[in-house]
Structures are given as C-alpha cells and as structure tokens.
Amino acid sequence: MSDTELLPIRDLQACCAPITREPIEPSNAESLARSLKALADPARLRLLSIVAAHAEGEACVCELTDPLALSQSTVSHHLKVLVGAGFLTSTKRGTWHYYRLVDGALDAVAALLAAV
C-alpha cells in the first residue's frame, strides 16, 4: 500500500479490531487515518448525507452542485475522494455519474470506533 493510498472502509474489519480492544498496527493506523480524513471535511459529510437521503439512495453529480454551492469540478473531486475511501460507489449513465452510499460503510466506521 502506498503512502497516499486509502484503506477502503470495507476492509476495516479485516485489518483492525475496535480501537478500544487492541492497538492498531502503525501501518494500519496511517492508512485508516487517511480514510477517515475523507469524512473530516464538511462538504464530504454533506455529500454523504445528501446522497444517502436522496430518492432511492442515489444521486446524480448534476444534482449535487447546487446544494453545496460548489463548482462541479470541486464536487467531483470530493466525490472521487469518497469513492476512493470506500464510502460511495459510482455508476455512469450517459454523460452523468450517479453515486450511492456503500452498504455498511458507515456501520464499519462506527464499529471500529465503538467500545466493545
């Protein structure tokens, strides 16, 4: 895994026990921190919320620029980060990309941080 590669959220259970149960290995802590950093941005949190709350749990990139008052290129960058971190998936239909929350992605984060 490169220094800039994100640890996909779907891999959390494979790499890391809840942080209150046992220490995370240094390499896992670094990559996990980069993945969690994807959530540590107000625009990205809003994007996750908007996509998850959207009709049928899916939203077109064309519907995400106005609510954030950001350019399409900035929104696309944030979406790319969220896809790379494993929080969203993307499908292309015609010229537009549609985004959907990955099932269980936020549950995996909650389980990692939960005291068990």
* 19 vs 10: which has the higher pLDDT: 19
Instruction: Give the count of domains, the chain.
Output: 1
Boundaries of domain holding 106 = 9-113
Residue 70 within a domain: yes
Place of tokens 């290129």: 73
pLDDT tens track for 17-67? 556 667 777 877 777 787 788 889 999 999 999 999 998 889 998 899 999
Per the domain annotation, does 95 fall within a domain? Answer: yes
What CATH number corresponds to the domain at position 89? 1.10.10.10
Q: Chain-wide mean pLDDT for the chain?
A: 81
Strand segments, DSSP code E, in the chain are 58-60, 88-93, 96-101
Q: How confident is the model at residue 8 (pLDDT cuts 50, 70, 90)?
A: low
**Token pair recorded at residue 60:** 């077109």
**pTM value?**
0.76
pLDDT at res. 25: 78
**Cα gap 101→71, rounded to integer Å:** 21
What's residue 74's pLDDT?
94
In a domain, 4, yes or no: no
Tell me if 66 is assigned to some domain: yes
Long-range pairs, 73-78, Cβ under 8 A, ≥24? 74/43, 75/43, 75/47, 78/41, 78/43, 78/44, 78/47
Would you say residue 1 lies in a domain?
no
